[in-house]
Structure 1
């Protein structure tokens, strides 16, 4: 975000207040086919990425978890089973359509007991200080308008000893991978989006938003600036995706 109050929306520069609306339009458009597209786009590998993030979380029974940009509940559902009835998981999303899909899915899976649902903006989390043992945000941080503000907000609501996990598309580090990945992202993804959801533009934005997202070392530094310590990241699939983990002490 620059000093003139503009920020990136894919490769476009838009007014700060417009980005949230434009991102909302993207996810309203794809919400009903979101899970299908995730499987198609990643050839099902997104499930392995999420499983790896869950293993890094180190969650225990009775703990309190906030899953931001929780979408249709892939992480929240797993965490709800792990923390048990004495724990609590908040599935949160800024987008009403995605939150509705997540609520429907969790209820259908019989997971309402220790799950709460909240429509929130990650930049201004409406929770008390020092409240959560774990915060996760999977494939959502790149859509946040002010990432620094969001990271500070997450830090505030984490308990001392708590940790943040950011699972996000990142920058390929495997030699020769980038041109192949670019070809797939800008050719196959929009076509797939058009065929499955009737919306090529949203998946073109997806490819662009990934390229505009901070790379692995930059995001690590942003987390440290927000107050997180012992920040480290793990590259998955040659750096196409990375998991960043940081602690509040």
Structure 2
């Protein structure tokens, strides 16, 4: 396996422990899932968790909408194996698939809501990724994209450099024996869209009423949940 899924295959050992040490990580994912704002605890709804990793975002989606059926997809087989070994209700299903080739893996819409956490930044073509997410949604259904999105302000970028090189990259190297995945995280967040740029990208993909909701704590300027809906045809 090459590319970003390969980085997660080889550098994902210890991933759960590392993200658990990140203050607010799980709370922010659960908040992102709640921001989908779906009724009835998700009863009768089919949701997609795209880029589920070891299942943290899937757990957040299930906690926020416990009555929903959830299809959770990831391109890293080793991350997905870790997710599958956890305890899940029968309403949660895991699929190994590249996000760009979901139909070939049997993943078809329309979905009543989609959570894509820490995914879009890792896709080779984010515009294509957003169009795919748009097309997988039922008309009127919501999308939550949760990811690092750094402002262009110098202080925020210096903060990101400091956090990566004093905490994230050294801790990742100690936990996994390799810093490749965590250096990728550092670089990819610097290259990725600022919040206004990502909102514009969502509009170009046809998503209606896009808005950004910042997280709390030290990540409040670095991590956001971006919300949009597929318009009614």
Equivalence map 1:52-63=2 (5 Å): 52-59=31-38, 60-63=42-45
1:118 aligns with 2:80: no
What do residues 163-197 of structure 1 show as CA deviations (whole Å, max 9, x unaligned)?
A: 11000011147884432331221343221111111
Structure 1 unmatched runs, 5+? 1-19
Change (3 A) 1:31 1:201: closer
Superposition CA RMSD, Å: 2.0
Question: Are positions 1:132 and 2:114 aligned together?
Answer: no
Q: Structure 2: which 5+ residue stretches go unaligned?
A: none
* 8 Å Cα contact 1:170-1:216 kept in structure 2: yes
Runs of 4+ with deviation above 4 angstroms: 81-85, 172-175
The structure with the greater share of residues assigned to strand is 1
Per the TM alignment, residue 82 of structure 1 is displaced from its structure 2 partner at its CA by: 5.2
Q: TM-score w.r.t. structure 2 length?
A: 0.87
- Written as runs of structure 1 = structure 2, the 5 A alignment for 1:57-76 is 57-59=36-38, 60-76=42-58
Partner residue in 1 for 2:225: 243
Q: Tell me by how many angstroms 1:74 deviates.
A: 1.8
Listed one character per residue, the Cα deviations across residues 191-216 of structure 1 (whole Å, up to 9, x for unaligned) are 11111111122211111111111111
What is the TM-score when the length of structure 1 is the normalising length? 0.82
Equivalenced residues, count: 222
Per the TM alignment, residue 39 of structure 1 is displaced from its structure 2 partner at its CA by 2.4
Contact 1:65 1:89 in 2 (8 A): yes
